[in-house]
């Protein structure tokens, strides 16, 4: 709790500052509503069609690819932290939980190799081609 309390305080204060600025401006600003102001801005043209239409599926592909690679990278963080800290892999080797450092390293590299294989497959399939 001691570690997380300042963070919570910071989030609260940051939110309070943002909301405070907004409310303050809302209170003291003028208010003049006209019909033209209410229209969506389309470079001076009368708006045509609805905005919420179908959009390019490529954005969806980017999102999926991002999800895959980002999660795969997140798996590497625990290893990255543990590999150098004294309470990490060193301790695990001493306690006999792991047979050796080399095995952990090989495992991490094998995982990275799998990511690279997936990446090469995606590239070959043209996922990254933006035309």
Partner 1 sequence: MVAATFFIFPMTSFLPSPSTIAALVKIGLLVGGLMTAAAYLVLVERWMAAWVQDRKGPNRVGIPLTKIKLFGLGQPLADGLKIILKEDFTPKHVDKVLYTAAPLVILAASLAIFAAIPFGSVMPPLKIAGLPDPVPFLVAPGLDVGVLWVFALSSIAVYGVLLGGWASNNKYGFLGGLRSSAQLVAYEIPLGLGLLGVVLAAGSLKLDVIMNAQAKSGTWYAFAQPLGFVVFLVASFAEAARLPFDLPEAEQELVGGYHTEYSGIKLLLFLVAEFLHMVTAAFLIVIMFLGGWHLWGVTGSSQEVTLLGAVLRFAVLSAKIFAVILFFMLVRWSWPRFRFDQLMNLAWKVMLPLGLANLVTVAAVEEFRSHLPGWVAIAIPWAVFFVGWIVSGLLTPSGTDNTPIRTRGPLDVERELSHDYAGAR
Decide: is 114 part of the binding site for partner 1 (CB under 8 A): no
Shortest Cβ 17–partner 1 spacing (Å) = 5
Q: What's the alpha-carbon Rg for the chain, to the nearest Å?
A: 26
Residue count, binding to partner 1 (CB under 8 A): 76
Q: Cα–Cα distance between 84 and 78 in angstroms, integer?
A: 11
**Contact at 8 Å (CB) between 40 and 51?**
yes
Which of the residues 37 through 96 are near partner 1 (CB under 8 A)?
37-43, 47, 51-52, 55, 57-59, 61-63, 65-66, 69-70, 73, 76-77, 80-85, 88
Least distance between partner 1 and beta carbon 56 (Å): 8
Binder to partner 1 among 109, 114, 117, 121 (CB under 8 A)? 109
Rounded Cα gap, residues 64 and 127, in angstroms? 10
Angle at 100 between CA 94 and CA 106, to 5 degrees: 145
* C-alpha–C-alpha distance, residues 25 and 58, integer Å: 39
The least CB distance from residue 77 to partner 1, in Å, is 7
């Amino acid at each position: 709790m001691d570690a997380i309390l300042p963070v919570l305080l910071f989030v609260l204060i940051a939110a309070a500052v943002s909301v405070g600025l907004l409310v303050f401006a809302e209170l003291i600003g003028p208010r003049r509503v006209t019909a033209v102001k209410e229209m969506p801005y389309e470079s001076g043209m009368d708006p045509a069609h609805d905005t919420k239409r179908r959009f390019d599926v490529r954005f969806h592909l980017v999102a999926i690819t991002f999800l895959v690679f980002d999660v795969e990278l997140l798996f590497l963080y625990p290893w990255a932290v543990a590999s150098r800290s004294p309470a990490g892999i060193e301790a695990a080797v001493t306690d006999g939980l792991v047979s050796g450092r080399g095995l952990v390293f090989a495992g991490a590299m094998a995982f990275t190799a799998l990511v690279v294989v997936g990446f090469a497959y995606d590239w070959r399939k043209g996922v990254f081609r933006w035309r």
